[in-house]
A = this chain, B = another copy of it.
């Protein structure tokens, strides 16, 4: 509403409340009577559209094709792969009635679509000529979570799920890593979020996968967020579903499969990596509005016209709007900040007289006097600079909150006193992982591709170490 004040949000010191405040007051989500579900309002959905468009372009550049499969999965299909059904059955929503009649076989709302893709591939693939299949779908999925938080954990969320089938194990592994790299590059280049790439432990891997790879990001409060995963299924699903092809020598072979996905959780990551006490802070590449022009003394002759002229000019180099509502400039400034708009342009009578305007950066608060003749160039450069600087700021925060623990005491002290990633050596046993979690609340985030040797023994049990692991408390 135009007449309500931009209310102060909770300080980041109470991070959970701050997060809720930002999500609501920056108008990303709305309320609904459907418990555990969320509404994506225009400001929130527009971020998802920008994520979707740019990620989809990157997918297609690697040969991905989009498809759409049913949203409901017959119980029998879900049960074909043992680990998979055990992983998902406890958290799916079941459709038992169609219209007025009870169904002979109940159907679940897809929590993920491995089983449907296998069923489809089983029918669609016969020869090596049909391979590889590199398909993806954009859709929503349902998982019956008990506790929910907007973007982070919700009974329904939007995502993409890639599902591929290959002739060889090598090709499947290559695609698994290729897509993880697409995610990592996208997070850094578009969302300005640096990530750690690595492999999940046996305990943390996806139900039915041979190996799960992940990108892990560090939030402002020092907690970790799993931001995207890529799974190599080997031929496990293919064997369960009979997905076979005849090779060039006319022998029947099982395909090798992968799947990979990111979700609207990425919007949660943007909020928690970049936000500050004034609200949301959007990297320019995912900002639905990159520049907001705020007219000063807008009732004076020529001000609104000038603002509109600048909007017209800037629309050629950015996503730009004019705030010509009857709110006060101070209110508009606060609202721009709350909503995370990267650049604010202030233009008033005196500016017009001097052929200049004031440009304010959301990320640093810096105010810059700009000659109007240079406006397009300056705005273009500033948006690029902000994008780069936000990534660097996030990286600096991540690096300064990444610790090394060489023994158990150091580990416990770090978890308790220094929120962030903890690098430590691990023996590879699930038992140690579970002990660490039970004692400290920290979990293995990943075994990073970039391994370091921090010692010879497991930080927990003291037995010989096999891997350097990133630990952290996680969302």
Contact = CB atoms under 8 A, between A and B. Distances in A.
Number of copies: 2
Interface residues of A, number: 59
A108 to B, nearest CB: 9
Contact of A39 (B41, B68, B73): B68
Interface in A125-157: 126-127, 129-130, 135, 139-140, 142, 144, 155-156
Given A1-B126, A120-B31, A135-B42, A144 B92 contact: no
Nearest to A40: B68
Given A42-B135, A119-B33, A156 B93 contact: no
A139 to B, nearest CB: 7
A438 interface: no
A109 interface: yes
A30 interface: yes
A343 B211 CA distance: 45
A33 B77 contact: yes
A68 B45 contact: yes
B42 A67 contact: yes
Contacts of A119: 32-33
A127 B42 CA distance: 18
Nearest to A127: B1
A464 to B, nearest CB: 41
Interface stretch (A96-104, A221-229, A309-317): A96-104
A129 B158 CA distance: 30
A97 B30 CA distance: 25
Contacts of A139: 140
A63 to B, nearest CB: 11
Nearest to A123: B31
Contact of A70 (B2, B32, B65): B32
B42 A65 contact: yes
A94 interface: yes
A159 to B, nearest CB: 12
A289 to B, nearest CB: 12
A179 interface: no
Contacts of A99: 90-93, 144
Contacts of A129: 1-3
Given A39-B67, A66-B42, A68-B45, A30 B100 contact: no
| Max chain B Cβ within 10 angstroms of own Cβ: one of A37, A38, A71, A119 | A71
A31 B121 CA distance: 10
Given A1-B127, A90-B100, A94-B96, 19 more contacts: A3-B129, A30-B124, A31-B120, A33-B77, A34-B107, A37-B70, A39-B69, A39-B70, A42-B66, A45-B68, A68-B140, A71-B140, A92-B99, A94-B98, A95-B96, A95-B109, A96-B96, A98-B155, A99-B144
Give 7 nearest A-B pairs by CB, closest first: A37-B70, A42-B65, A98-B144, A40-B68, A94-B97, A99-B144, A34-B70
19 contacts: A1-B126, A2-B127, A30-B120, A32-B119, A37-B72, A39-B68, A39-B70, A40-B67, A42-B65, A42-B135, A45-B65, A49-B66, A71-B71, A71-B156, A72-B93, A92-B99, A93-B98, A94-B97, A96-B97
